[in-house]
Amino acid sequence: MKIGVFICHCGSNIAGTVDTAQVARTALEFPDVAFATDTMYACSEPGQEAIVQAIKDHGLDGVVVSSCTPLMHEPTFRRTVERAGLNRFMFEMANIREHVSWIGKDTEANTRKAAELTRMAVEKLRRNMPLFAKQFEVNKRVLVVGGGVAGIQAALDCADGGREVVLVERESTIGGKMAKLDKTFPTVDCSSCVLGPKMVDVAQHPKITVHALSEIEDVKGFVGNFEIAIRRKAAYVDWAKCTGCGLCMEKCPSRKSLDRFNEGVGTTTAINIPFPQAIPKKAVIDPAFCLKLTKDKCGVCAKICPTQAIDFKQQEALFTEQVGAVIAATGYDLFDISKYGEYGAGKLPDVITGLQYERLLSASGPTGGHVQRPSDGREPKTVVFVQCVGSRDKSVDRPYCSGFCCMYTAKQVILTRDHIPDSTSYVFYMDIRAPGKMYDEFTRRAMEEYGARYVRGRVAMIYPKGDKYVVRGADTLMGTQVEVEADLVVLAAGAEASQGAGKLAEKLRISYDKYGFFLESHPKLRPVETNTAGVYLAGSCQGPKDIPASVAQGSAAAAKVLALFSKDKLENDPMIAAVDIRRCVGCGKCIQVCPFKAIKEVDFRGEPKAEVIETVCQGCGLCTATCPQGAIQLAHFTDNQILAEVNALCLA
């Protein structure tokens, strides 16, 4: 075998602390190395051409490039060696930038280590085999999980691109958090007026199927061929018959049901359509409050329903959908404000979350758009807004900024003045974060035109005094203590990962961070992709986001899906597991640990043996680590290749 070695300077990134010429000279002494040189930028066009030329001039069978991380440029160099006529797996990369030059300043030690890592790559390459991809069909349907604004946008864009879309929503209606908002910043236009038409588009689009009141039960398969099991919860109403007329809501005697859509501000009926613009506009019975389901009494809705849609015996349903790609758009949930005991959150009735306040402001809310205190219905004259409740606070394990609270608080301040012209608003804040287009101007308007009193400092405690609440905090600009007697306190509750986000991520086999937000493939360059092929992200499930950013991500994810679906066939990655059936004892441990269900048991002359389904295997290597016999080897990462690397390092 003839191997060529290229040691990259990466400008001064590597050459600054590694003697690259010396590494190249050392590499010439490694077994099978026929050519070695250092090069300014291996990835640049002349750099790549030099590699192609060397392969031709020296008749090389394989190439090692010692440069940056393979995550960045391995695909680049694989294409390079392919251009020169080699199989693209006859290439190895040693990372002498992140692993060497960037982490140490001692040139002598760095040079030695760079040579050792290069030697590892050479030893591995000596055992590489040419590998060839296999092609498989793509199912060009897409699943969107979550029907908030990001999911809606993604679904519409995919459907407009001509692809069939399955939209799964946990609640009985799509719309998500945005449907609960009264107005949106910085334009103060009506939220449901902007979102409503989009929701109608989803309902009417011939390419979109909406499964509301449903959750993802299980995900099998892989990019191009996912099989999604979906669990539809019991609505106790036959939606095929329900016309959404709302008669049942008028007659339902159980009026103390938790009003989830209104964030628990006020109550609703046990049979319920969350809001007038709901899509699908279908009634759902809350089994915890329905008299028929709890006490076997009543049944008024069944009597009154003009289409006989009520079905108290309805069960959960489990069904599957076949799709080729998945967009996760599960959004966020609010931080549980009751963790701030010192604010009386969860105990004092007039200390509420920003989202609850939205419902008080909304004309379709429980108070018809009249701002009233939940406790006594009185109109508040002094409203205190507290920022960063569950954001930027390590003590509650929420060190991150929720991003949009500064802006919605400014909006709520403006709306409060609009609703109650003689009211005064106070805002306790840490910093104002308003980096978007027209955002800073908007917060300035809240302060300057709407007379909101912005106090820079944290609130220490909130306690009742008469029928008011004393908000005690610091004004760090004035260096004084502040006490405000408030009628209503609105806590800007931070955003956290949607409930059950972690479980969904595990089903989708994507990563999530310690707070439950899904992890993108690259924070800058691959923001809507995940490390699982065919699974994309949109909206706040990836991190707190405002509406414009969520919509942009919805469209971006849709673009990724449409690009994926532009090919009729996909190629698998040939770095997959293979079973040596002579060694396999048929214990089936590999089958049990395979997260992709890519291994099946086959009968070989009466003996059970494992067999890898080549297009399903993702090459994760779990089976190879599990197999006690070493009967399963991962192509391109065989035991012998890894051992050769270890030995190269130990011998050095």
Partner 1 sequence: MNVLSQLKEQIAATLPNLDLVIGWERGFDPLHHTPLFMRRPEDVERLVIDALCVHNLAVYLPGLKNKKVGVAVKGCDSRAVNQLAREGLIKRENVVVFGFPCDGAADLTKVRRQLGDISGVQSAALEGDLLRVVVDGKERETPLKDVLADKCLRCRYPNALTHDHFAGEPREARVQTDDYKDVVDFEALPLEARFAHWQQEMQRCIRCYACRNACPMCVCRDHCVAQSRDPHWVTQEDETREKWMFQIIHAMHLAGRCVECGECQRACPVDIPILALKRKLNKEIRELFDFEAGVDPQAVPPLLSFQVEEKNINERGW
For residue 128, state whether it binds partner 1 (rule: CB under 8 A): no
Choosing from 106, 250, 506, 513, the residue that interacts with partner 1 (CB under 8 A) is: 506
**Cα 342 to Cα 346: distance, rounded to the nearest angstrom:** 11
Helix (H, G, I), strand (E, B), or coil: what is residue 80? helix
CA 274 from centre of chain: 26
CB of 633 to partner 1, least distance (A): 7
- Considering the complex, state which of residue 549 and residue 594 has its C-beta at the smaller distance from partner 1: 594
What tokens were used for 150? Answer: 């990001």
CB of 588 to partner 1, least distance (A): 5
- 123: enclosing H helix or E strand: helix 107-125
Q: What one-letter code names the amino acid at 277?
A: Q
CB of 497 to partner 1, least distance (A): 14
Choosing from 631, 634, 635, 648, the residue that interacts with partner 1 (CB under 8 A) is: 631
CB of 393 to partner 1, least distance (A): 19
For residue 592, state whether it binds partner 1 (rule: CB under 8 A): yes
Q: What one-letter code names the amino acid at 10?
A: C
The pattern of x and - marking residues 376 through 415 that bind partner 1 according to CB under 8 A reads: ----------------------------------------
For residue 499, state whether it binds partner 1 (rule: CB under 8 A): no
- Considering the complex, state which of residue 41 and residue 515 has its C-beta at the smaller distance from partner 1: 515
- 13-32 binders of partner 1 (CB under 8 A): none
- The site for partner 1, by CB under 8 A, has a size of 23
Q: What are phi and psi of 223, to 5 degrees?
A: -50, 135
- Considering the complex, state which of residue 313 and residue 394 has its C-beta at the smaller distance from partner 1: 394
- Considering the complex, state which of residue 271 and residue 584 has its C-beta at the smaller distance from partner 1: 584
CB of 126 to partner 1, least distance (A): 13
Choosing from 394, 514, 524, 605, the residue that interacts with partner 1 (CB under 8 A) is: 514
- Considering the complex, state which of residue 436 and residue 502 has its C-beta at the smaller distance from partner 1: 502
- Considering the complex, state which of residue 308 and residue 629 has its C-beta at the smaller distance from partner 1: 629
CB of 609 to partner 1, least distance (A): 13
What tokens were used for 102? Answer: 């960037």
CB of 223 to partner 1, least distance (A): 22
| CA nearest to 279, candidates 374, 169, 193 | 169
Choosing from 342, 451, 629, 652, the residue that interacts with partner 1 (CB under 8 A) is: 629
For residue 588, state whether it binds partner 1 (rule: CB under 8 A): yes
**Cα 646 to Cα 652: distance, rounded to the nearest angstrom:** 10
Which segment (68-76, 230-238, 284-292, 633-641) binds partner 1 by CB under 8 A? 633-641
For residue 575, state whether it binds partner 1 (rule: CB under 8 A): no
Q: What one-letter code names the amino acid at 129?
A: M
Question: Angle at Cα 600 formed by Cα 595 and Cα 605, nearest 5°?
Answer: 155
Strands (E), 25-114: 33-39, 62-67, 91-95
Beta-bridge mates of residue 98: none
Beta-bridge mates of residue 570: 136
**Cα 256 to Cα 473: distance, rounded to the nearest angstrom:** 36
Q: Residue ranges of the alpha helices (H) in 476-621?
A: 501-508, 547-565, 589-593
CB of 334 to partner 1, least distance (A): 24
Which segment (438-446, 565-573, 609-617, 635-643) binds partner 1 by CB under 8 A? 635-643
Q: For residues 352 and 361, is the Cβ–Cβ distance under 8 A? A: no
For residue 630, state whether it binds partner 1 (rule: CB under 8 A): yes
CB of 91 to partner 1, least distance (A): 22
CB of 638 to partner 1, least distance (A): 7
Helix (H, G, I), strand (E, B), or coil: what is residue 537? strand
For residue 582, state whether it binds partner 1 (rule: CB under 8 A): yes
Q: For residues 333 and 501, is the Cβ–Cβ distance under 8 A? A: no
CB of 407 to partner 1, least distance (A): 32
- Considering the complex, state which of residue 16 and residue 502 has its C-beta at the smaller distance from partner 1: 502
- Considering the complex, state which of residue 151 and residue 516 has its C-beta at the smaller distance from partner 1: 516
The terminus-to-terminus CA distance of the chain in angstroms comes to 21
Choosing from 199, 638, 645, 648, the residue that interacts with partner 1 (CB under 8 A) is: 638
- Considering the complex, state which of residue 377 and residue 628 has its C-beta at the smaller distance from partner 1: 628
Beta-bridge mates of residue 536: 327, 529
**Cα 469 to Cα 81: distance, rounded to the nearest angstrom:** 72
Secondary structure tally for the chain: helices H, strands E: 18, 34
Helix (H, G, I), strand (E, B), or coil: what is residue 55? helix
Token pair 């699908």 in the structure block, residue: 280
- Considering the complex, state which of residue 108 and residue 506 has its C-beta at the smaller distance from partner 1: 506
Per-residue burial over 11-29, b = 16 or more CB atoms within 10 Å of its CB, e = otherwise = eebbbebbbbebbbebbee
Q: Which residues bind partner 1 (CB under 8 A)?
A: 502, 506, 514, 582-583, 585-589, 592-593, 606, 626, 628-631, 633, 638-640, 643
